[in-house]
Amino acid sequence: MRFPIFIENSRVPIWLSKVAPIEIYAVSFMFWVFSRGPISDRLRRHEAIHYLQQREMLFIFQHIAYGLFWLYRFAVHRDGARAYKENPFEVEAYTFQNDEDILTTRRPFEWARMPWGWK
């Protein structure tokens, strides 16, 4: 896979953490993944899953859907961290981040098959 491009030791996750309900270590945005430090294989798969989600939704629509899912779960629970954890895009990435074959076996729109929330 040629993309995403991983950028380690970036300040982007640090800046985003100032406004996010969680401490961000890495963030995927279009063709790039920005990370505070070294990127493990597990994190590389997690963020590559986000890249694939964004690509299949023409980038912009994934960001819109992500925000709407987060807002809905925040309205339900009044807890930003829980809204993050129950976002189906995150549920998919966390569910498959340990699967070494996921980047070649993942079905399109797999996030839509995910249950809302993970235990």
Q: What is the DSSP letter of 117?
A: S
d(CA 62, CA 98): 23
Residue 6 near residue 36 (C-beta atoms within 8 A): no
Q: 59: which 2 tokens? A: 């980038």
User: Going by DSSP bridges, is the β-strand pair 32-35/5-7 parallel, antiparallel, or unpaired?
Assistant: parallel
pLDDT tens digit sequence for 66-110: 999 999 999 999 999 999 999 999 999 999 999 999 999 999 999
CA distances from 3 to 17, 45, 81, 89, 103 (A): 24, 12, 28, 18, 11
Say how many CA atoms lie within 13 Å of 70 toward its Cβ: 15
Better-predicted residue by pLDDT, 1 or 9: 9
Q: Residue 91 is which amino acid?
A: V
User: Going by DSSP bridges, is the β-strand pair 32-35/26-29 parallel, antiparallel, or unpaired?
Assistant: antiparallel
Least confident of 7-11, 47-51, 115-119: 115-119
Better-predicted residue by pLDDT, 52 or 119: 52
pTM, rounded to two decimals: 0.91
